[in-house]
A = this chain, B = another copy of it.
Amino acid sequence: MAAGRESVTIADVARRAGVSPATVSRIMNGRFAGEDVVAERVRAAADELSYAPSPLARSLALGRTHAIAFVVPDLANPAFQSVLAGLSKTAARDGYRVLIADSGESPSEEPLLATEIRRRTDAIVLCAPRMPEDELAALVERLQPLVLINRGLPEGSGPSGAPSLRIDYRTGIRALAEHLHELGHRHLAYVHGPERSASNAHRERGLDEFARDHPDVRIDRIPAGAASDDGRAAAPRVRESGATAALAFNDLVAIGLIGGLREFGLRVPDDISVTGFDDIPLAQYLDPALTTASVPHADLGVVAWSRMHALIRGETPGEDVLFQPRLELRASAAAPRT
């Protein structure tokens, strides 16, 4: 009744139905042009043996795996989790699965990691904020089809470049800074992300623009990272800076920072305002609710798949997208004490 320990192969089905493996293959794949009787017989045989083709063997023969790779710097970050959820759900709808790789602990091995995982899949969604531009360009060259998240390629990288989905961190953080300025803050602290992070660089640029427009404002830059622990660790320096408001690299950092400040007896926003970035799912429920720039991460995943799917089918993918964050003004940023 049930299949034995050894899995049942196409040859078993063929034998039972009295046809060749080739015919079985054709029938299973809809490329069959013969009599219906035969097809029925084969299907019956397959059912009786509860046959299912080996995805591995198919992949090898076909040259496609129906799987895509997703490389992220930190899977523990809710922002990436949302992207993943969106990506995975939509890809599944088209019969594709997602193989994940967290490059977190070894940025230097990211190219190897990506290369390795790419070979197991048909395509790759790459999220590598800290990768040097030249390495990135090399990967884009070698690993296609490829979709970039939050990274662009230098101008003139040719038409063969990868679709790129980015978030306008520059404009987003600038808007946050403007908001703080309007609230009356004149001394800000930027608790920045990982060194060499491209998305951090974009934020810095946004702040530079803001600074140019507002010479009266002082901005201190305080090193941190991308996780909440980094934010917490930065609390002392933020406090020492004397800033009345802190722009955190992202929501996680903001949360850690708020926690850290609280340990000094500082209250947000009474004593100091704090803003985040991302609008992770729980940001609105935090204490205090976090003022942040909202990014539709799940949509990012969905669009990533749509681009990917087009690429895989050899169609031209849609245009690059620069997602515009939406300001979410909540309780964590308020007017400075007078």
Contacts and interface: CB of A to CB of B under 8 A. Distances in A.
Interface of A: 52, 54-57, 59-60, 65, 67, 75-76, 78, 81-82, 84-85, 88-89, 92, 97-102, 104-105, 115-117, 119-120, 228, 255, 258-259, 280-282, 285-289, 298
B120 A56 contact: yes
B287 A258 contact: no
Contacts of A55: 116, 119-120
A76 B82 contact: yes
A98 B117 CA distance: 11
B285 A99 contact: no
A280 to B, nearest CB: 8
A140 B255 CA distance: 41
A304 to B, nearest CB: 15
Contacts of A75: 81, 84-85, 88-89
Contact of A89 (B92, B102, B288, B298): B102
Contacts of A78: 78, 81, 281
A228 B117 CA distance: 34
A281 B228 CA distance: 10
A56 B117 CA distance: 11
Contacts of A115: 52
A259 B282 CA distance: 11
B89 A285 contact: no
Given A56-B120, A98-B99, A99-B99, A85 B89 contact: no
Given A255-B282, A287-B285, A102 B119 contact: no
Contacts of A65: 56
B119 A285 contact: no
The 10 closest A-B pairs by CB, nearest first: A287-B287, A282-B282, A75-B85, A81-B81, A76-B85, A55-B120, A56-B60, A285-B286, A99-B99, A255-B285
29 contacts: A54-B119, A56-B59, A56-B60, A57-B60, A60-B60, A67-B99, A67-B120, A75-B88, A75-B89, A76-B82, A76-B298, A78-B78, A78-B81, A78-B281, A84-B100, A85-B102, A88-B102, A92-B102, A97-B101, A97-B117, A97-B120, A98-B100, A255-B282, A258-B285, A282-B286, A285-B287, A286-B286, A287-B287, A287-B289
Given A75-B89, A286-B287, 13 more contacts: A55-B119, A56-B65, A56-B119, A75-B88, A81-B81, A85-B102, A89-B104, A97-B117, A99-B99, A99-B100, A282-B282, A282-B285, A287-B288
Contact of A92 (B82, B101, B289, B298): B101
Contacts of A280: 282
Contacts of A287: 285-289
A75 B286 CA distance: 22
Nearest to A254: B285
